[in-house]
Structure 1
Amino acid sequence: MTASQQTPVPRADGDTTTTAQDAAEREVRAAVEAGLPSAIADLSQLVRIPSVSWSAFDPANVRRSAEAVAGLLADTGMFESIEVKQAPIGEGDTLGQPAVLATRAARNGRPTVLLYAHHDVQPEGDEANWETPPFEPTVRGDRLYGRGAADDKAGVMSHVATVRALKDVFGDDLDLGLAVFIEGEEEFGSRSFANFLEQNKEALAADVIIVADSDNVDVNTPALTVSLRGNVTFKLTVSTLEHASHSGMYGGAAPDAMLATVKLLATLHDDDGSVTVDGLTSYDAAAEPPAFDEEELAHDAAFLPGVTSIGKGPILSRMWSQPTITVTGIDAPSVANASNTLLPSVSVRISSRVAPGQPAREAYEALERHLRAHAPFGAHLAIEDVDLGDPFLVDTAGWAATEAKRAMTDAWGKEAVETGIGGSIPFIADLVRDFPQAQILVTGVEDPDTRAHSPNESLHLGVFKRAVLAEALLLARLNARTGS
């Protein structure tokens, strides 16, 4: 007997008007609980696949990961079509990494929901910094450790576990339309994403898009992400000499590239660490961000003793609504290989987070103007490998956001909070462009101790359970909704 065929049953408070929807939601809770061990086991199997999408790593692992995800979706028996697909990068012939696309059509006027996550992961970095092997999932306490255990294979499995619960409760009576898009190169810039959308636009069209790749306030408080900063990254090379020269013979008169680079980078911030680039704007949020003190920041960001925060204004405003500039890499001789020479060139990787409301292209142009205007000693600048991603603001007035927050509150037992995220998910701008009528919900399975992208990445298993339950309750409710 499916949930839609069940007769009403009394609630604990004696109310005998309970509907079939109430009964279905109780069954959803039971199905999620029963399916949790299998979901964690399948997540562990995915973590064992080192699906690093960066060009220097073996693409066969990303293919293997995509096929494993396709198999999990096929095993639900809920989809009419499941494919592992690739799209070209830009206008060339090079294909992006394999993605998974699964679809089932809506029936009886029900809406369609697109579920997004990504199965590729960041490199593990120095394995010596891991307490357990990065691709050997390990449970310690209430956390599952491993690269991708949270970001974002837990997002993948939250969708799979939700579909399994819907199958258990509704079976063939599910009328909700579903499209599942599991990307394979989010960690490498989603370079074929726009083409993938264009090639599969009809299959991906939806009334609601759930992006499971974000954070929660803590392990007990759910969050709907309503703003994301954009990003501008590029390689900057500063050159002052045609070749290296003896630092003793010419030092003090000839400008070496390291000195020029240090002086140039120093112009990007003032003494308290605030960005000083004209043309980089902040987002003027309508409401003051929640309280967040220096002690919480120091704990979550792992400050060393005595280190203080940078910037101006409320801490969460600095992290959600203001631009940042970070030097994330530098090419120069190592200390071990340093010789007494003046360097002719130095290259750095610049990563700037762009405040919501400002186009990434505009932010990049402001950065380029600043750098060229402040180059010391007549240094020559070269900028290449530019990557842009626009920021995102959610329209929280839509019915989907209201339903999502209600489902989160019911699943977690604590009221959902609207939050901003300092990080970037640039492809959301592509979703907004291609599906302007869709309501986009950014959710996730991470918490402040997840350490995504870092050694000892982990998933809190209680957060995972509650995230699956929230999504399952939301989709069960949308299955009862008619009209887009």
Structure 2
Amino acid sequence: ADDLGGWLSQLTAFRAWEASGGVPLNVRFLLEGEEEIGSPNLKRYMEEFPDAFQADVMVLTDCDNPSTDVAGLTVSLRGLLDMEVELSALKGKVHSGLWGGALPDPAIGLCKLVGSLVDDQGRIVGLEAPGQSAAWREQVSALSPDDDDLRRDAGLLDDVAGLDPGDRPRVEWMWRQPHLTVIATSLPQPGKAANVILPKASARLSVRLAPGMEAAEVFAQLKERIEANVPFGLRCEVRQLQGVKGWAYAAEGPAFDAAGRAYRQAFGADLVKIGVGGSIPFITLFADQFPDTPLILNGVMDPQTGAHGPNESMHVGLFAKVVAANVLLLDELAATLGGAA
């Protein structure tokens, strides 16, 4: 589902039109295969082959749906900051029994340091986006997962609760606020345990940025906080590895009205504007390069897809509805644009 299924849904819709005599408007397909590594060559390709991107409307297919029965139109994405923190103390490994109590331990220091970056609810200390309006919160409240949803869709254990959302809908924390995740460390795996004090320890941190946050500014803020709270007098290095800004979109106008009609007919329910907590750098790039072109973001994922997991899946019933919606979308866009796109 992430993301060959999205592409297949578009190609299947196109083939359905071809089998019925041809599509009602001009369609150009562009397949970009580097999304999972940040699309490092896409901008250069855009600049070298600008004619390939000429369009009245663009449909970008790499997004989620609130459920298998309700389609989502993605209107916001979080940005991404990847950074690495390394603490050092020694020239090499030493015996923890002989030297423990005299030497600072970089591994323990790393755990303390990373833990100090978040509060008791796992929110990044001192880094928060402005709250959303009451109208927005009311609009998305029905889309917010409760703990039972988290257990069913994300595998939350029965005796563990989700993070307390407070007075906000939970999707506000998932779509419109920053979040910190440890995605790698240099600490030994259990099978390689040894009674030693490590000379150094590092962690790679992934920070999801709220729409509007700039990666460079957030990195500078976190770097300052980290360097001010290094435990045990350890040597500290902080490096930025990647930075992608977030994105938010009004999604209004004739093209989006056309999408609404197509999806309503295919799903039997209104198309719902949603956010996605993940980061899709190529979408931000399209928004920057083509600010006046409507971008319709759809996809075939649902809460139980398990994207990036070992058992990622695609719901066949949802896929069929998305294909039908894409068939109808071409017809609706042709009527809206007068057959030229």
Is this a same-fold pair by TM over 0.5?
yes
Determine the C-alpha separation between the residues in 1 that align with 2:247 and 2:289: 14
1:184 CA drift (Å): 1.2
**One-letter code of the match for 1:190?**
S
- Consecutive unaligned residues of structure 2, counting only runs of 5 or more, are none
Is 1:203 aligned to residue 52 of structure 2? yes
**Residue aligned with 2:238, SS:** strand
2:280 to 425, 446, 471: 425
**Residue-by-residue CA offset, 1:197-246 (whole Å, 9 max, x unaligned):** 22222211222111111111111111111111111112322212222222
**Residue aligned with 2:80, SS:** strand
**Residue-by-residue CA offset, 1:122-179 (whole Å, 9 max, x unaligned):** xxxxxxxxxxxxxxxxxxxxxxxxxxxx1111111111112112223342xx462322
Which residues of 2 match residues 345-364 of structure 1 at below 5 A?
345-364=200-219
- Consecutive unaligned residues of structure 1, counting only runs of 5 or more, are 1-149
8 A contact 1:445–1:463 mirrored in 2: yes
2:292 to 411, 415, 437: 437
8 A contact 2:154–2:306 mirrored in 1: no
1:379 to 234, 259, 273: 234
8 A contact 1:323–1:352 mirrored in 2: yes
**One-letter code of the match for 1:199?**
E
8 A contact 2:219–2:240 mirrored in 1: no
8 A contact 1:207–1:437 mirrored in 2: no
Which residues of 2 match residues 80-99 of structure 1 at below 5 A?
none
**One-letter code of the match for 1:310?**
L
**Residue aligned with 2:59, SS:** strand
Deviation beyond 4 Å, 4+ runs, structure 1: none
**One-letter code of the match for 2:288?**
R
**Residue-by-residue CA offset, 1:93-129 (whole Å, 9 max, x unaligned):** xxxxxxxxxxxxxxxxxxxxxxxxxxxxxxxxxxxxx
Determine the C-alpha separation between the residues in 2 that align with 1:381 and 1:439: 46
Provide the residue aligned with 2:26 in structure 1: 177
**Residue-by-residue CA offset, 1:1-42 (whole Å, 9 max, x unaligned):** xxxxxxxxxxxxxxxxxxxxxxxxxxxxxxxxxxxxxxxxxx
Is 1:336 aligned to residue 187 of structure 2? no
Determine the C-alpha separation between the residues in 2 that align with 1:190 and 1:380: 34
Is 1:321 aligned to residue 176 of structure 2? yes
Provide the residue aligned with 2:244 in structure 1: 389
Provide the residue aligned with 1:297 in structure 2: 150
Determine the C-alpha separation between the residues in 2 that align with 1:319 and 1:206: 32
2:76 to 210, 224, 227: 227
1:362 CA drift (Å): 2.2
**One-letter code of the match for 1:420?**
G
Determine the C-alpha separation between the residues in 1 that align with 2:164 and 2:242: 25
Determine the C-alpha separation between the residues in 1 that align with 2:178 and 2:130: 6
1:409 CA drift (Å): 0.9
Determine the C-alpha separation between the residues in 1 that align with 2:224 and 2:21: 58
2:17 to 159, 162, 166: 166
Determine the C-alpha separation between the residues in 2 that align with 1:361 and 1:475: 40
**Residue aligned with 1:158, SS:** helix
TM-score normalized with structure 1 length: 0.65
Is 1:217 aligned to residue 69 of structure 2? no
Please say which structure displays the higher CA radius of gyration.
1
**Residue aligned with 2:141, SS:** coil
Inter-CA distance 372–205: structure 2 relative to 1 (3 Å threshold): farther
Provide the residue aligned with 2:132 in structure 1: 284
**Residue-by-residue CA offset, 1:356-399 (whole Å, 9 max, x unaligned):** 12122222222222222222223222334611111111222222
Provide the residue aligned with 2:261 in structure 1: 406
**Residue aligned with 2:193, SS:** coil
1:279 CA drift (Å): 4.4
Determine the C-alpha separation between the residues in 1 that align with 2:56 and 2:85: 42
Q: Across the two proteins, how many residue pairs are aligned to each other?
A: 332
2:3 to 127, 135, 152: 152
**Residue-by-residue CA offset, 1:44-102 (whole Å, 9 max, x unaligned):** xxxxxxxxxxxxxxxxxxxxxxxxxxxxxxxxxxxxxxxxxxxxxxxxxxxxxxxxxxx
TM-score normalized with structure 2 length: 0.91
**One-letter code of the match for 2:147?**
E
**One-letter code of the match for 2:58?**
I
Determine the C-alpha separation between the residues in 2 that align with 1:328 and 1:452: 16
**Residue aligned with 2:30, SS:** strand
Determine the C-alpha separation between the residues in 1 that align with 2:333 and 2:95: 71
Determine the C-alpha separation between the residues in 2 that align with 1:358 and 1:335: 38
Q: Which protein has greater RCO, CA pairs closer than 8 Å, 6+ apart?
A: 2
**CA RMSD, Structure 1 to Structure 2 (Å):** 1.9
8 A contact 1:282–1:356 mirrored in 2: no
**Residue-by-residue CA offset, 1:323-356 (whole Å, 9 max, x unaligned):** 1000011112222222221111112111111011
Inter-CA distance 246–437: structure 2 relative to 1 (3 Å threshold): same
Determine the C-alpha separation between the residues in 1 that align with 2:99 and 2:164: 38
**Residue aligned with 1:458, SS:** coil
**One-letter code of the match for 2:309?**
S
**Residue aligned with 1:457, SS:** coil
